[in-house]
Amino acid sequence: MSAITGPSTFCIRPALAADAAGLLQLMRELAAFEGYLAEFSVTVEDLLARGLDAEQPQFRAYVAVTAAGDLLAYAALVEVAFTYDLRPDCRLKELYVTAPARQLGVGRALMLAVIAAARQHGCGRLKWDVLPGNSNAKRFYRQLGGEPVRDWEAWVLQLRP
């Protein structure tokens, strides 16, 4: 990875097919951090077929990249077609910033790009999940105006093949 000297040394852009291998590496780092690396099964081919090179993508991704082309961070988004107000929800599935790029404004810039993209797509809400013990993430999201949802609790049903 190139040396990072400050927030002006990167740009935010939509992820490209050429980013698939680097994006996969960052996704694996996040999976390790969140404790599901053993179950992680995404491949470069999956990223290409389902989003980065797909005619009808199932997800969109944005990356923070240095002038040298090194990926510093990414955000992956999915859209729920419409809800009660006929406006889609944008769901931030993942946001990850590499350790050397933290505290340099990379996460904030990436999140602002996500918010702009959600607005551009006519979304009524941007939603995401935070691990209960991740106080740094909670503080970060609060600084951007995010707040925890108190009216709902997350549920899951594991569907095994």
Average pLDDT over residues 61-69: 96
The 3-state DSSP class for residue 97 equals strand
**36 or 3, which is more confident?**
36
pLDDT of residue 129: 95
Residues 41, 158, 33, 64, Cα dihedral to 10° = 60
User: How far, in Å, CA of 157 to CA of 77, rounded?
Assistant: 21
Average pLDDT over residues 52-66: 96
Find, among 90, 121, 124, 96, the residue nearest to 110 by Cα. Answer: 96
8 has a pLDDT exceeding 60: no
57 has a pLDDT exceeding 90: yes
pLDDT (tens digit, 9 = 90+) per residue, 69-109? Answer: 999 999 999 999 988 899 999 999 999 999 999 999 999 99
Q: Where are the domains of the chain?
A: 7-143
Find, among 33, 22, 103, the residue nearest to 61 by Cα. Answer: 22
pLDDT (tens digit, 9 = 90+) per residue, 19-30? Answer: 999 999 999 999
* pLDDT band with cut points at 50, 70 and 90 for residue 5: very low
User: How far, in Å, CA of 143 to CA of 150, rounded?
Assistant: 18
pLDDT of residue 83: 81
* pLDDT band with cut points at 50, 70 and 90 for residue 9: confident
Strand order through the sheet with 60-66: 10-14, 60-66, 71-80, 89-97, 125-128
pLDDT (tens digit, 9 = 90+) per residue, 109-145? Answer: 999 999 999 999 999 999 999 999 999 999 999 999 9
pTM score, whole prediction = 0.90
pLDDT of residue 7: 44
Residue 105 backbone zone (phi > 0: left; psi -120 to 50: alpha; other: beta): left
Q: What's domain 7-143's architecture?
A: 3-Layer(aba) Sandwich (3.40)
CB atoms within 10 A of CB 113: 18
3 has a pLDDT exceeding 50: no
User: How far, in Å, CA of 141 to CA of 144, rounded?
Assistant: 5
